[in-house]
Amino acid sequence: DIVMTQSPDSLAVPLGERATINCKSSQSILYTSNNKNYLAWYQHKPGQPPKLLIYWASTRESGVPDRFSGSGSGTDFTLTISSLQAEDVAVYYCQQYYTTPWGLTFGGGTKVEIK
């Protein structure tokens, strides 16, 4: 299985400041045939189900605020919240879908709090 490693485990950011979450895969999740990175990002708030934010590493899901952006390629990826809002407090997970169907794996999660 591809191992997804997120960093940091947690971070505290002042309101309105930038939050950056990293996700590293143990092998490349870039399909050279279509030049797409098989990576998604989710937001998970307590007592709620996870919510899809980003897929194909950088495509924002419909309805997701544009302060959320995804970047990276190959093995190194980043989720950026450009201006942290109170409602963004959550745990964020990356997920690779390169190895499928039986090898879908998530990162360990990054907890984002207000400083």
Partner 1 sequence: EVQLVESGGGLVQPGGSLRLSCAASGFTVSGNHMSWVRQAPGKGLEWVSIIYSGGSTYNADSVKGRFTISRHISKNTIYLQANSLRPEDTAVYYCARALADSSGYHSWFDLWGQGTLVTVSS
Of 38 and 68, CB closest to partner 1: 38
Please, how many CA atoms are within 13 Å of residue 2, restricted to the half-sphere of its CB?
A: 28
Of 56 and 89, CB closest to partner 1: 56
Residues 59-98 that bind partner 1 (CB under 8 A): 61, 93, 95, 97-98
Radius of gyration of the chain (CA): 14
Both tokens of residue 113?
């709090």
Q: Is residue 38 involved in binding partner 1 (CB under 8 A)?
A: yes
Q: How far is the CB of 24 from partner 1 (least distance, A)?
A: 15
Q: Is residue 51 involved in binding partner 1 (CB under 8 A)?
A: yes
Q: Is residue 44 involved in binding partner 1 (CB under 8 A)?
A: yes
Whether the Cβ atoms of residue 11 and residue 110 lie closer than 8 Å to each other: yes
Both tokens of residue 34?
């279509």
Q: Is residue 28 involved in binding partner 1 (CB under 8 A)?
A: no
Both tokens of residue 83?
């201006």
State the residues that interact with partner 1 by CB under 8 A: 34, 36, 38, 40, 42, 44, 48-52, 55, 61, 93, 95, 97-98, 100-102, 104-109
